[in-house]
Chains A and B, each alone.
Chain A
Amino acid sequence: MTDIESQKSTDAAARATGYAEEGGATGAGLIRVAFPAFTGPLDLLLHLIQREEIEITDIPIAKITREYLDTLELMAELDLEVAGEFLVMAATLMRIKARMLLPPAIMEEEEEDPREGLVRQLLEYRRFKEAARDLERLESDRRLLFDRGAPAQLEDPQDGELQPVSLFRLLDALKNVLQRQAPPIVHTITAEPISIEEAIALIRSAFERGTRALFEEVLLGFVTRIEKITAFLGLLELLKQERITVAQEELFGPIWISWRSEHERRPMASEEE
């Protein structure tokens, strides 16, 4: 969904030439405003630098800070959402500006130009902004080539010797894995909790070599209890979407997860368009 929205705003950006009022006053004093959607504070800074035809390695920091703050104000006036990162950058710019005002003698010896960190970040970002433009071009070219749309139905890869597993067997298997959970670790590091989508992607990586893997092995990749449970929810989601099948040789035997072929997955992908 967000993709569609940002697409729209990017289209609007493409039509706009500058960030200020465009088209001028029309009729009843209405001003049509076109405003490019900046992907982040670095994007906005690059835009300003380009517009003012400033050398990126020698940024007049006072001028660019003023321009930057003016733009943020305008964005706020236009009710555009100003992400927190934009404000962080504003603070960074003001800090650099303050440090530039200090006479060199006060600054520590061999101190680098206060702008250097920012310049490095801008240049690095600009490379990838340009790379993104390259990718956009590749995307456009590729969209002119169509592959065969109709998904082929392949034979179900499931072997005859395996039989379906009930949800309760799956839950038992989860319980087994959780019980074998190692004793708590001594130091605590708050890991970023993983989402079901991430868990699904991680599960998928277990099927890169073959189409089948053991349930316990798949869950081995998930460290904490909450991760294992997230992974389990991911498995249930995959089952619901019929992207995997689960089976076992005998009651209480190891549970095998089989990844279903690409072809069976395709129709799902096109549904969400």
Chain B
Amino acid sequence: MPTPKQILEAVLFASDVPVTLPVLTQVLGDRTAPEVRAILGEMAEAYEREERGVVLSEIAGGFQLLSRKECAPWVEQMLRSRRKIRLSKPALESLAIIAYRQPITKVEIDSIRGVDSGGVLHTLLERNLVTIKGRSKGVGRPLLYSTTQDFLSYMGLNELVDLPELKELGPLLEERERFADEGGETAPATAPAPATAPESEPELELEAAPADGAA
């Protein structure tokens, strides 16, 4: 009878995409999810301790065996022809806007970038880094874009909240306050953040922390 560790290792080895905790728990059958998570934690530690060529990483909402970072040059040598092309600057910009502002329409992306993003969106859709999450209720019912699980996997993130924090609009806040002071109306010091977001935008949790005016 194989141990739970052996089974989990075998299952993770056999999959080429991240496997979620519920699936692993179901496969194992006789353990609860927290128990399975604990075993996975032990396994990840063991891989580190034993300096193995693979690591067990938590990515895109699941668990996956990946080659060790330090081994990259050698693996790359073998797989050179299969590498995906890196994303272009315009593609990264559009992807960043979608990631932090999803779901978002193309018009909104264009307006932030100041340039048409049609071609870039096409590329991102084709690579399945973004997808269409229905349509906006607005005029013309424009399509709404969101990031995918593949996006998380591509960036090595587990969840969207793991995205690096978006920089505050610091200097603008100060500027705003100065405008307000000169105009004789003092903006309430407690509510500078909403003033910087003229369009009511569906913010992600990571942006929820109120700005304290730090640049």
A residues sitting closer than 8 Å to B (CB atoms) are 2-4, 6-7, 10, 13, 37, 39-43, 56-57, 83, 85, 89, 110, 112-113, 116, 119-121, 123-136, 138-139, 141-152, 189-192, 194-195, 197-198, 201-202, 204-205, 221, 223, 262-263, 266, 269-270, 272-273
Contacts and interface: CB of A to CB of B under 8 A. Distances in A.
Interface stretch (B1-9, B44-52, B90-98): B90-98
Interface string B65-103: 111110010011001011111111111110111011000
B93 A146 contact: no
Contacts of B72: 143-146
Interface string B104-117: 00100000111110
Interface stretch (B21-29, B35-43, B131-139): B131-139
Nearest to B57: A145
B16 A147 contact: yes
B155 A139 contact: yes
B202 interface: no
A169 to B, nearest CB: 27
Given A85-B114, A128-B100, A138 B132 contact: no
A201 B65 CA distance: 29
Contacts of A263: 16-17
B133 A130 contact: no
B186 interface: no
A7 B114 contact: no
Contact of A150 (B16, B142, B155, B174): B16
Interface of B: 13-17, 55, 57, 64-69, 72, 75-76, 79, 81-93, 95-97, 99-100, 106, 112-116, 119, 122-123, 125-128, 131-134, 139-143, 154-157, 163-164, 166-167, 169, 171-172, 174-175, 179, 183, 198
B92 A132 contact: yes
Contact of A85 (B96, B115, B132, B169): B115
Contact of B122 (A130, A144, A195): A195
A25 B158 CA distance: 51
B95 A141 contact: no
A117 B16 CA distance: 48
Contact of A124 (B84, B86, B116, B169): B169
Contacts of A116: 175, 179
A123 B16 contact: no
A131 B167 CA distance: 8
Contacts of A198: 125, 132, 143
Given A135-B96, A195-B122, 9 more contacts: A13-B89, A39-B89, A85-B115, A121-B112, A128-B97, A134-B164, A135-B95, A197-B122, A202-B143
B113 A125 contact: yes
Contacts of A190: 140
Nearest to A136: B92
B111 to A, nearest CB: 8
B93 A3 contact: no
- List 5 tightest A-B contacts by C-beta distance, closest first: A40-B115, A142-B156, A131-B96, A6-B88, A144-B72
